[in-house]
Amino acid sequence: MKKNILITLADRKYLNQAKQLFSSVYFNAGWKGDYMLLAHEIPEKDLEWFRKKGILIKKCKPLTNITKKQWELVTLDKFYLFREEMKKWENILFIDIDIIVRASLEELTKIKGFSAVIDFYPTLKEQFLKNKKYKKLEENLENEYDLNSPGFNSGVMAFSSDIIKKQTFSNLKSLAKKYIDFSKHGEQGILNLYFYKKWKNIPISFNFNPLSITNPWRNKKQINLGIIWHFPGTKKPWEIHNSYLYNEWNNNLKKSDLINLKNPINNPKKYNREEILKQSIYIKKRILFYSPLLYIDNLIGRTGIFLKKYSPKFYYFLKNQTMPK
């Protein structure tokens, strides 16, 4: 057993995504700690590949007494990260399967307490639905929490195991029973409530969505920013073929059979703290500049549609894209 452990979560529909993730962690990050898959109702025969590679398996009993929604049932398995059995490791790093890791994660093994990256929708209130039928729950939250305080994205979480207490797992389940139907992003809202004003913000390089600064499906110029690339929306790198993102993702998947945890990669690409902070500041500036342009159709509605139809050159200039031929 190693000092640190890296964990992801999947059901049987996302086994290739889990393989790609572990491959990018092995080859690009040179991860020397343990690897674990939280398995949601995955048949034993489908787990054989992971076991042969030396990847630990934690079979998660679905928390059906909390919710019946299948996608929420899967994501609620993240609560198993906070069971006392996980205290065998000093530091725990959880990463979602819709992620590509591109450089060393060593900095995340030095964290004390609980840390994550602030969410794209940055306040706690934006983690929850705005609906009249949840008015009472919203009032409860307003009485107990400052809903304008920051909220984090649960796709990347790094923490020291000393935060895990005897009642942590059961307390998370209790919070979920109360608020899960009100939570916009499943388990993420619940984790935000549990770690309210207890979490530390880490640089955005560790949870960066390339789609927030450009359109990589059309833009052939490769982005060389970010340590962890996360694709939390509906566009996933394994779905959009003929793009460099798909090629990078697919190459990682193809290399997964070459993973040999007995011989970790010794010289991965690595950034020091100063470089990580500088890169993160630059990413934030790019997001502020590009986001309105990338979503011009949504932001200005019919005006964007009008521009696209009657002045396509100007429309694509605004969106920093090449006009399709």
pLDDT of 214-254, one tens digit each? 765 555 556 788 999 999 988 899 998 878 889 999 999 99
Burial class (CB within 10 angstroms; exposed 0-12, middle 13-18, buried 19+) of 250: middle
Backbone angle region of 102, left / alpha / beta, with phi > 0 → left and psi within -120 to 50 → alpha: alpha
> Tokens representing 123?
């306040």
Q: What is the pLDDT of residue 297?
A: 44
Whether 253 contacts 230, CB under 8 Å: no
Mean pLDDT of 67-83: 90
Q: What is the pLDDT of residue 268?
A: 96
Q: What is the pLDDT of residue 134?
A: 82
Whether 194 contacts 175, CB under 8 Å: yes
Q: The pTM is what?
A: 0.88
Q: Which CATH architecture has domain 4-271?
A: Alpha-Beta Complex (3.90)
Please say if the pLDDT value at position 185 is more than 60: yes
Q: Where in the chain is the domain with CATH 3.90.550.10?
A: 4-271
Helix (H) or strand (E) holding 299: helix 296-300
Select the more confidently predicted residue: 320 or 91: 91
